[in-house]
Amino acid sequence: MSNLADLQLTKSGELRHFLTPEGLDRLMLERILDTADSFVVVGNQEVKKVPLLRGRTVVNLFFENSTRTRSTFELAAKRLSADVLTLDIKTSATSKGESLLDTLQNLRAMHSDMFVVRHGDSGAAHFIASQVTPDVAIINAGDGRHAHPTQAMLDMLTIRRNKGYFESLSVAIVGDILHSRVARDQIHALKTLGCSDIRLVGPNTLMPQAIDSMGVTTHNNMDSGIDGVDVVIMLRLQTERMDSAFLPSAGEYFRLYGLTTERLAQAKPDAIVMHPGPINRGIEIESAVADGPQSMILNQVGYGIALRMAVMSMAMSGQMQQRQAQANTPSSLTGKLRP
Amino acid sequence: MGATQHPQHPELADTPALVNSLLNQVDQLITTQKLGQPLVIGIHTGGVWLAKVIAEHLHAPFGQLDIAFYRDDFSKNGLHPQVSPSSLPFNINDRHLLLVDDVLMTGRTVRAAMNELFDFGRPASIKLVTLCSVNQRELPIQADACALTLDLEVGQYLQLDGPETLKLSIIERANHE
């Protein structure tokens, strides 16, 4: 998918938008994880802040609600010393009839340097990056059922910090694969980083068609699905799906796919348990597991801030270099793009 | 393009002698300034190698800084592609610090390092220890212990190779900035 690489990278191969791990090579994904490792340390400092993006403006554009993702992006930008503006678009200008394009052009005219975009439609962040404001760094904070790359990469960071490597790991992704925007990105990232045993576990009604073509195995039986794995990634069961005949009942789901202490014993003794949150206790995961020693759920939150700081600083760096390169090209449109 | 023979700077031929001279100066500094038990902190990467030698000599705790997130040239040069985590496995509050770098040139690295240190706490004092100082300062920062001071031609810079054997040499930059 060289298109996705072209869109996300500068001509010299630096990150300038972060839309999906798809199309990025292993070296780039590892650089993101390395940079995030350094930001984890910043989170432990007395002053949890670096001056890297001082004077830059980051706009969080949230076209749908997501308190957790929005607040971690906001915190990440603040810890990079950027000025942050968070716009809840649903309650903003668009309700007065302003089009999305006009809203974005206005924000660009305010010299915004980065948009963090959350949208209910698949491909929204790609569209903005490719068609609307290519000179503003775009970070995809989740679009439709398509992608949620920072969540997927923070999961990779959690795995690497616990296991140290990806080759020869067995990873089970359990739950509502069909409606998950993270699972696809997780699969892309895991494969690129060298993981070969990726198992998707869940009922057929929540398994996407022809997902096997991504090089994963599918399991309807939880016990065999997590047998001997090193990592169990639980997905949130979107309870709103209950109504639409995807599932018989919450109790039935927990009986078949809930992660209990007993079930976790099928995995390796040092297996780690991950969950993007918010967790539904007693529906997809038992409290004893969520709060147990193998659970990485709260560590993931901290790693999420570090990972977001990493992609934000890398994309800002690439975008600035791209602008400079364009400014040095006589035939460039820079003047028009950056008044 | 590295030329290691520089007749105008014969001291460079013997890096171990420079390191020994620096260790002597550090001992003196600790005595005269009454630093007691200082913490030794190296700046990535050459400063870290040197700091390890100093920390072993003093039997002192050792930490390392990567100043990539504190540089003042982010707008110009972007984020360094290889960032390694800073690691200060101790509390620096009210402690005397020896900040170690291999070469002191413009002073910008040291400024960035001090900014980072203050995000970890408030030290009692910071002393700057460097193997070699090049007379190209752009900021009012001077070393407290330094084995060698020299002038370089335009396009030359110093490089410390290591970490097993430390070797300081002059490198000719292919493209002058």
- For A239-270, the pLDDT digits (tens) are 666 666 677 788 888 999 999 999 999 999 99
Task: Specify the pLDDT at position A334.
Answer: 44
Cβ–Cβ < 8 Å for B57, B116: no
Question: ipTM higher than 0.85?
Answer: no
Q: Which domains does chain B have, with CATH numbers?
A: 11-71+93-172 (3.40.50.2020)
Q: Is residue A331 part of a domain?
A: no
Nearest partner of B167 among B26, B55, B14, judged by Cα: B14
pLDDT at B1 over 50: no
Q: Is residue A226 part of a domain?
A: yes
Q: Where does chain A have alpha helices with state H?
A: 2-8, 26-42, 67-79, 100-109, 124-127, 149-163, 182-192, 222-225, 250-257, 261-264, 287-290, 297-327, 334-337
Cβ–Cβ < 8 Å for A118, A61: yes
Is residue A108 located within the same domain as residue A6? yes
pLDDT at A338 over 70: no
Cα–Cα distance, A223 to B56 (Å, whole number): 53
Task: Specify the pLDDT at position A248.
Answer: 74
Is residue A184 located within the same domain as residue A118? no
Please list, in sequence order, all residues whose beta carbon lies within 8 angstroms of the beta carbon of residue A318, skipping any fewer than 6 positions away: A9, A10, A14, A15, A16, A137, B78
Nearest partner of B166 among B3, B20, B8, judged by Cα: B20
Q: Is residue A328 part of a domain?
A: no
Is residue A256 located within the same domain as residue A311? no
- For B60-89, the pLDDT digits (tens) are 999 999 999 999 888 888 898 888 899 999
Is B89 in the A-facing interface, judged by CB distances under 8 Å? Answer: no
- For B98-109, the pLDDT digits (tens) are 999 999 999 999
Does the predicted TM-score (pTM) go above 0.95? no
Q: Which amino acid appears at position A235 of this protein?
A: L
Q: Which amino acid appears at position B147 of this protein?
A: A
Burial group, residue A338, by CB count within 10 angstroms (0-12, 13-18, 19+): middle
Cα–Cα distance, A40 to A217 (Å, whole number): 33
A238 CA to centre of own chain: 17
Cα–Cα distance, B171 to A191 (Å, whole number): 42
B175 band by pLDDT with thresholds 50, 70 and 90: low
Residue B45, both tokens: 């990467």
Residue pointed to by tokens 């890398």? A314
Is residue A153 located within the same domain as residue A290? yes
Residue B127, both tokens: 């002393």
Q: CB B69 to CB A51 under 8 A? A: yes
Task: Specify the pLDDT at position A2.
Answer: 58
Nearest-neighbour CA in chain A from B92: distance (Å): 11
Is A90 in the B-facing interface, judged by CB distances under 8 Å? Answer: no
Cα–Cα distance, A89 to A183 (Å, whole number): 26
β-strands A231-234, A170-174: how paired?
Answer: parallel
Q: Least CB-CB distance to A52: which of B66, B69, B87?
A: B69
Nearest partner of A22 among A41, A3, A46, judged by Cα: A3
Is residue A62 located within the same domain as residue A164? no
Is residue A138 located within the same domain as residue A164? no
Q: Which residues of A touch B87 (CB under 8 A)?
A: 41
Residue pointed to by tokens 């039986």? A221
Q: Is residue A339 part of a domain?
A: no
Is residue A51 located within the same domain as residue A100? yes
Q: CB B78 to CB A14 under 8 A? A: yes
Q: CB B83 to CB A314 under 8 A? A: no
Is A51 in the B-facing interface, judged by CB distances under 8 Å? Answer: yes
Percent of chain A with pLDDT over 70: 92
What's the N-to-C CA distance of chain A in angstroms?
33
pLDDT at A18 over 60: yes
Task: Specify the pLDDT at position A121.
Answer: 86
B150 band by pLDDT with thresholds 50, 70 and 90: very high
Task: Provide the 8-state DSSP code for B93.
Answer: T
pLDDT at B116 over 70: yes
Q: Is residue A327 part of a domain?
A: no
What mean pLDDT comes out for the span B139-151? 96
Mean pLDDT (chain B, rounded): 91
Task: Specify the pLDDT at position A335.
Answer: 44
Residue pointed to by tokens 């057929």? A204
Q: Can you give the residue range of the structural domain that contains A161? A: 149-297
Q: Is residue A337 part of a domain?
A: no
β-strands B156-161, A231-234: how paired?
Answer: unpaired
Please list, in sequence order, all residues whose beta carbon lies within 8 angstroms of the beta carbon of residue A252, skipping any fewer than 6 positions away: none
Is residue A138 located within the same domain as residue A17? yes
Q: Which residues of B touch A41 (CB under 8 A)?
A: 85-87
Here the CATH number for the domain that contains residue A58 is 3.40.50.1370
Is residue A181 located within the same domain as residue A75? no
**Cα separation values, A173 from A140, A148, A163, A183, A220, Å:** 22, 15, 17, 7, 12
Cβ–Cβ < 8 Å for A7, A129: yes
Residue pointed to by tokens 């100093």? B54
Mean pLDDT (chain A, rounded): 90
Q: Least CB-CB distance to A31: which of B81, B84, B87?
A: B81
Cα–Cα distance, A331 to B72 (Å, whole number): 30
Is A29 in the B-facing interface, judged by CB distances under 8 Å? Answer: no
Please give the tally of structural domains in chain A: 2
- For A194-234, the pLDDT digits (tens) are 999 999 999 998 999 888 889 999 999 999 999 999 999 99
Task: Specify the pLDDT at position A3.
Answer: 82
User: Which of B:99-118 have CB within 8 Å of A?
Assistant: 115-116, 118
Is residue A305 located within the same domain as residue A291? no
What's the N-to-C CA distance of chain B in angstroms?
16
Is B175 in the A-facing interface, judged by CB distances under 8 Å? Answer: no
Question: Would the CA dihedral through B2, B7, B8, B14 be positive or negative?
Answer: positive
Which residues share a beta bridge with B169?
B159
Is residue A310 located within the same domain as residue A171? no
Which residues share a beta bridge with B88?
none
pLDDT at B177 over 50: no
Cβ–Cβ < 8 Å for B41, B63: yes
